[in-house]
Amino acid sequence: MSSKKTVADEAAPLASPRLIVLAGPTAVGKGTVAACVREHHPEIWISVSVTTRKPRPGEIDGYHYHFINDAEFDALIANGGLLEWAVVHKAARYGTPRAPVDRALASGKPALLEIDLQGARQVRERMPEAFLVFLAPPSFVELVRRLVGRGTEGSAERERRLETARKEMLAESEFDATIVNTDVRTACEELVDLFSSGSSRSNS
């Protein structure tokens, strides 16, 4: 893992981050790392996103995602109910409900968002104190292997996701820290450690 200092870090008082955004290319294992945090670190609150995508086998509404339809998603946007949202893989919309994040932060709980790069950029703008973590694969070849191995997408969908992943790999420099996901448990603990050792951009 490498931590990066930013110009803003130099100017602002440093504090441990309370909101961490975990992003990174498709199939790098963000969901698996977040699941590990959920299982082993109940002290950390994890946002449940809304999505217009259909549930995959085994996915539970309200736990993995809130599965909603387009009209419900439109209403959330119109009401300002989303902290961020994006169309991911040109296929479905995903968003972070704003109120639960505010509640978690107000209660003093460390909070984790596992979202895509477009969403991470929006959070950076709206909550500059958020700490952005890039989850990287050991290599692009390994990323392709994981995407194919997962077997949840057809070949056209896989191609679309790989195209997105290629672009997403270039975004690493925008992040405050990088964790290489060679081993899920190690990546999970490195992420949790950042809540105490990372330096967020302000105290707010």
Residues that bind ligand 5GP (CB under 6 A): 26, 30, 49, 53, 84, 86, 88, 94-96, 114-116, 118-119
Q: How far is the CB of 100 from ligand 5GP (least distance, A)?
A: 11
Q: How far is the CB of 71 from ligand 5GP (least distance, A)?
A: 18
Please, which residues have CB within 8 angstroms of residue 75's CB and are 6 or more apart in sequence? 81
Using the minimum distance from each CB to ligand 5GP, give the nearer residue, 12 or 48: 48
Using the minimum distance from each CB to ligand 5GP, give the nearer residue, 88 or 143: 88
In 3D, which of 18, 13, 42, 12 has the Cα closest to residue 198? 18
Q: How far is the CB of 6 from ligand 5GP (least distance, A)?
A: 22
- Which residue pairs, CB below 8 angstroms and at least 24 apart, start in 62-69? 65/94, 66/97
Q: How far is CA 177 from CA 47, 109, 130, in A?
A: 20, 21, 12
Using the minimum distance from each CB to ligand 5GP, give the nearer residue, 116 or 190: 116
Q: How far is the CB of 76 from ligand 5GP (least distance, A)?
A: 11
Using the minimum distance from each CB to ligand 5GP, give the nearer residue, 23 or 199: 23
Q: Measure the CA–CA gap between 180 and 186, rounded to whole angstroms.
A: 9
* CB neighbourhood size of 37 (10 A): 23
